[in-house]
Each structure stands twice: as C-alpha cells, then as structure tokens.
C-alpha cells in the first residue's frame, strides 16, 4: 500500500487545484463582464449596479419588477426616509 492514490498530499493538491480553477474563473468572468458593459457604453454607476439603472421613484414603472420596487419604496423606504429628516 505504498502507492496509495488517496493520500492526504494528493487530496490536498486536488482541492487546491479546484479552488484555483474556480477562483480564476470568477476573476476572468468579472473582468469580461466589466469589458462588455464598457463596450455597450454603460456608466460606472450602472456597471457597479450589475447593468441596471438605479431606482428612481419619480419614473413611471414599465415592468412588474419596477412596480414592485415602487410599491416597496412607497410602503417601507419612503416612511423611513421621512423619519430620519
């Protein structure tokens, strides 16, 4: 049993290899996402927000998601912001 394939050293090497591949994939995917957003002309604020515009309560909702955000803002966040002022 001197040539045991599942030795601690081999298991650690495989785990480190998997972690390195996953980390490299995440870093490359993030760089590629930023490059694509810059090519499409997104502002830095939109790039940091995942390609979406920041929520504007004055804007008329065009989708169900925007209606839900407006409802959430009017129900919870608007009340909280008035209390702070």
Q: What is the pLDDT of residues 58-82, one digit of tens each?
A: 888 788 888 888 888 888 877 655 5
Task: Match 């590629």 to its residue by tokens.
Answer: 32
What is the model's pTM? Answer: 0.52
Question: Where do the structural domains in the chain lie, given as residue ranges?
Answer: 1-54, 55-85
Beta strand segments in 1-85, E: none
Task: Give the residue from 47, 67, 49, 44 showing the smallest Cα distance to 57.
Answer: 67
Query: Which residues have CB under 8 Å from 44's CB, separation 6+?
Result: none
Mean pLDDT of the chain: 82
């Amino acid at each position: 049993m001197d040539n045991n394939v599942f030795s601690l050293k081999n298991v650690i090497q495989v785990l480190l290899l998997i972690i390195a591949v996953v980390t490299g994939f995440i870093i490359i995917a993030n760089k590629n996402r930023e490059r694509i957003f810059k090519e499409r002309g997104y502002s830095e604020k939109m790039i940091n927000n995942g390609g979406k515009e920041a929520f504007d309560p004055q804007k008329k909702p065009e989708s169900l998601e925007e209606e839900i955000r407006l409802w959430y803002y009017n129900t919870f966040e608007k009340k909280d912001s008035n209390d702070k002022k």
